[in-house]
Structures are given as C-alpha cells and as structure tokens.
Chains A and B, each alone.
Chain A
C-alpha cells in the first residue's frame, strides 16, 4: 500500500467516541429522571414534546415531562458536540483539511437547526 496510515485517527476516534457515549448516558439519565418524576407527580407523559421556548420554564417549575424533553434534546445535540470535539482534535493536529470539513459541517448543522426552527 502506498503512503503511510495515519495513526492520529485512533486518538480522535477515541475522544469523540467517549463524548458521544457521555452524551447518550446523560440523555438517558435525564429521561429516566423525567419518567420517575412524572410518576411521583402523578402526571402522564404527554403525546408530544413541549415547544423549545417552553422547555426551560417547565424545567424550572420541576415538571417531570420537561426532564424527558431535555433528555431528548441532549440526545439530538450530542452528535453536534461530537463534530465540535472532532474539530478541536483536528485543530490540535493542525490538520487543515479536516478542520475545514468539520467546521463546514458545524455550519451546515446550525443552518439546518435554523431552518427547522423557522419552518
């Protein structure tokens, strides 16, 4: 095989993998807490999540279903932070090509979020 195989991939993969796993576990913890709180408060989980603008207010009011919504939002946001972690790793490695790729991807994800919230 021509050329060398870049071993730096391994450390980047490990760091991003740990972050993705941490995000998933935090998300599940928030959802479990939400379900337990809802049971204790005698609330049924609603059929739909709260609008983003109402989640914080419901959370500060200590409503169980809001914790489930936060868990779902953490789950959705985790890949974004995974790409951000990759960007930081590539920056440390001075890998310009993949700094550009991961930064562009973050911009695309932010644009997608903006489109989703205004559609």
Chain B
C-alpha cells in the first residue's frame, strides 16, 4: 500500500488533467492513443519475459526506496516460496504513473495497463504485487478523474449502467483475488500480455470505425 500511495500522488492530479482533456478530444484520437500505449506495454513485457520468468528479484533497495521502506515479502501460494523484493527506480515509476494517470483520466480505464508493466519491468516488483498494487492505485486515480465526468453537463455518468458494471466488477475482482494466490507468476504475466494485445487490436479497430465508437 505504501508504494501505491506514492504512485497515486502522481496519478491522481494527472487523471484530473486527463479527464478535462477527454471532454475536448475525439473518441478516435483517444482510441489511437490507447492502442499505441497498450501495444508498447505489451512489447515491453514480452521483451523482458525471459528475465521475469524466473521471478528473480533484486534483494537490495536503491537509495530512494530504502528511505521509504519499500522492501517486502509474500508467500506465493502457487509455488510455496517466500518471495522477497526491494522496489527500485521509484522516480521513474512516479514519472510513468503520471502518464498512467493521464491515460486513466482520458480513457476512463485503469492506468494499470501502463503501471503494471512499469512496476514489474522497471521497479523490480513481482507481477502479483504489481497487479494488486495497481488495483489499489486505480481506485484512487479513478476517483480523481470521475468527478470531472460526473460534473460535466450533461454528465458522462450513466446511472443505469453503473449498478450492473459495479456488481460485475465486484464479482470478477473477488474471484480474481482468490485466483491470484493460486496462479503461477509466469502464467499471470502471459495472461496480462495477452489481454494487452487483445485490447490493443480492439482499440486499433475502433480508430478505423470497426467495433464501436
């Protein structure tokens, strides 16, 4: 949670800026931006797959991480191993989180598509910790941008859609939180890359008017 709070310091203000920009930019431009971001994230994760497969982590913090106590451990239920890690390159993570927040605010999606690869590849955070930390940050980031959409007149928030989406996300997230303990990190990482690619293609199709606005 400590790491999440620090990253949220960057994502929250940029999400507000992103949400304000989104009301001025066309849906196709947003879709193109989203598609490129997803493709770049997937490419970066694929490029580092071999290293990450071993889930070997730097055991020592760098200077910034040491001062903020960014060292932790967890028991991986899937393998039974105790995974210890020390977060590194916090300034890079914070800077990238600002971009993630901007995307989140502009597109109404979680900035996890950017944050998870950065945390995992750059900041030395295990994939399971990266996904769960990202979930926490997304809540704060989404809240920062959501009020812009709520207050826009006419509002962009559709009450009839909100309840089924909330229930669906609640059930999915509850199931996911059970599943994440049992799934192997490499499987989770590959699944994440596949989801990034599917969404990248879907968004690219939207740029050309295929598959929705």
A interface residues, Cβ below 8 angstroms from B: 1-3, 5-6, 9, 12-13, 16, 20, 24, 27-28, 31-32, 34-35, 45-49, 51-52, 65, 68-69, 71-73, 75-80, 82-83, 86, 97-98, 101-102, 104-105, 108-109, 111-113, 115-117, 119
Contact = CB atoms under 8 A, between A and B. Distances in A.
Nearest to B59: A1
Interface of B is mostly: helix
Interface of A is mostly: helix
Contacts of B145: 112
B60 A2 contact: yes
Interface of B: 1-2, 5-6, 8-9, 12-13, 15-16, 19-20, 59-61, 66-69, 71-73, 84, 86, 139-140, 142-148, 150-155, 157-160, 162-163, 166-167, 170
A72 B16 CA distance: 18
A119 B148 contact: yes
Contacts of A20: 139
Contacts of A34: 159
Contact of B151 (A45, A52, A75): A52
A24 B61 CA distance: 35
Which 6 A-B pairs give the minimum distances between C-beta atoms?
A116-B147, A79-B139, A112-B16, A48-B155, A45-B160, A116-B148
A30 B195 CA distance: 33
Contact of A1 (B8, B60, B144, B162): B60
Contacts of A49: 150, 155, 157, 159
B140 A79 contact: yes
B147 A117 contact: yes
A68 B151 contact: no
A28 B84 contact: no
A115 B16 contact: yes
Contacts of B2: 9, 98, 101
Given A48-B154, A75-B166, A116-B150, 16 more contacts: A6-B69, A13-B1, A24-B170, A31-B162, A48-B158, A49-B150, A49-B159, A72-B159, A75-B162, A83-B5, A98-B68, A101-B2, A101-B6, A108-B9, A112-B145, A116-B148
